């Protein structure tokens, strides 16, 4: 069975991400995996990482679709940490486009503001 995102994680994401990281929309938000799930989903220990707080963002449905279907939007999303490659580091900062602020997402469901220029990325 493919692992689903736990209800407790969903609830904490709603508190951490009350708006779309891209446009600020509050309605029609979906959970986006920064590092894509494998074909057929993930299981076991990998599912804990894939469905963990550092890999999840809430974004509007439109932006989620555009990140996956439009190469230009996808490339921009990668630069903002909204998308990262399978080999990418989940510690990569994420840009909140509406607040013009960089954050590192924590394993406990929080986010810490950072100066992106001071990071190793």
What pLDDT does residue 49 have? 78
State the pTM of this model. 0.86
**pLDDT, block means (10 residues), the chain with 121 residues:** 79 97 97 79 65 95 97 96 92 96 96 77 50
Judge contact between 37 and 50, C-beta under 8 A. yes
CA distances from 68 to 64, 100, 115 (A): 7, 23, 28
What pLDDT does residue 109 have? 96
Residue for token pair 């909140």: 96
Tokens of 80: 């903002």
């Amino acid at each position: 069975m493919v692992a689903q995102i736990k209800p407790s994680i969903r609830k904490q994401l709603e508190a951490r991400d009350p708006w779309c990281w891209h446009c600020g929309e509050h309605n029609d938000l979906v959970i986006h995996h920064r590092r894509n799930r494998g074909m057929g989903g993930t299981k076991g220990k990998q599912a804990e990482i894939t469905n963990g707080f550092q890999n999840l963002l809430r974004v509007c449905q439109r932006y989620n679709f555009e990140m996956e279907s439009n190469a230009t939007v996808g490339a921009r999303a990668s630069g903002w940490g909204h998308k990262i490659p399978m080999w990418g580091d989940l510690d990569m900062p994420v840009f909140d486009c509406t607040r013009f602020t960089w954050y590192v997402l924590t394993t406990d469901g929080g986010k810490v503001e950072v100066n992106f220029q001071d990071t190793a990325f």
